[in-house]
Amino acid sequence: MPSVFTWTVRVYYEDTDAGGIVYYANYLKFFERARTEWLRALGIDQQALRDQAGAIFVVSNASIDYVASARLDDEVKVTLKVEKLGRASVQFAQQAWRGDTLLSSADVKVACVDAVTMRPRTLPDLAAAKMRAA
């Protein structure tokens, strides 16, 4: 698994605002989907993690910068890099690109919590090992 994971998304009409550009909040959706695809590429099934280990991931902090606009039908490459893997959280650096143009960048912290109590908990061992290996 490369140190930078890349996932591609196509901009659909539903992603745009009245001005024909990607609505700002949709970059958060693109980043979320890339993190989900990264987990899937690592062999981490989030539903199984919930069912078997009682753990889920939640965003605990996000800071995002908007640099340029994507438009309808653009192909956007979304990247992620793990900046820090903690006992109960993962800090990601994420970017969205159209070709060589940076569209948006974000620092996103994801916490692992108990699926029932929603209280922080350590990452399940198997998931943490797969993340470390990546």
> pLDDT digits over 61-116, tens only?
999 999 999 999 999 999 999 999 999 999 999 999 999 999 999 999 999 999 99
> pLDDT digits over 7-36, tens only?
999 999 999 999 999 999 999 999 999 999
Query: Could you give the count of Cα atoms lying within 13 Å of 5 in the half-sphere of its Cβ?
Result: 23
Alpha-carbon span 90 to 59, nearest angstrom: 10
Residue reference for tokens 């340029």: 68
CATH number, domain of 67, equals: 3.10.129.10
Write down the pTM of the prediction: 0.94
Q: Structural domain tally of the chain?
A: 1
Does the CA dihedral 60-113-82-84 come out positive or negative?
positive
Q: Is the pLDDT of residue 1 over 50?
A: no
The domain of 42 spans 5-133
Predicted local confidence at residue 2, as pLDDT: 58
Residues with a known catalytic role: 17
Predicted local confidence at residue 134, as pLDDT: 85
From the number of C-beta atoms within 10 Å of its C-beta (0-12, 13-18, 19+), residue 61 rates as exposed
Contacts of 22 (CB under 8 A, 6+ apart): 11, 15, 16, 69, 70, 71, 74, 76, 103
